[in-house]
Amino acid sequence: MSLRLTDAESDALRKKAEEEGRSMQEVARAAIAQYVSGRPQRLRAAIERVRTEDSELLERLSR
């Protein structure tokens, strides 16, 4: 498989890899693993659950 990135995407990936002391490949693979794990969907579901179940509390806190 080949992955073609824009210059901006490549620069952002390179910067992140340098910050973390890892290779660009390691950072990209970790991002893909997180994406396909379903975590984003679980996170959205948890946020929605808190938003609906605690709507009264959140309303009071926003005042």
Contacts of 3 (CB under 8 A, 6+ apart): 28
- Letter for the amino acid at 25? Q
pLDDT at 14: 98
The reported pLDDT for the residue numbered 29 is 96
Gap between the Cα atoms of 2 and 28, Å rounded = 12
- The domain ranges of the chain are 7-61
Token output for 15: 């910067």
Question: In this predicted model, what pLDDT tens digit does every residue of 15-51 receive, in sequence order?
Answer: 999 999 999 999 999 999 988 888 888 889 999 998 8
Helix (H, G, I), strand (E, B) or coil at 55: helix
**Separation between Cα atoms, residue 3 and residue 6, nearest integer Å:** 10
Q: State pTM to two decimals.
A: 0.61
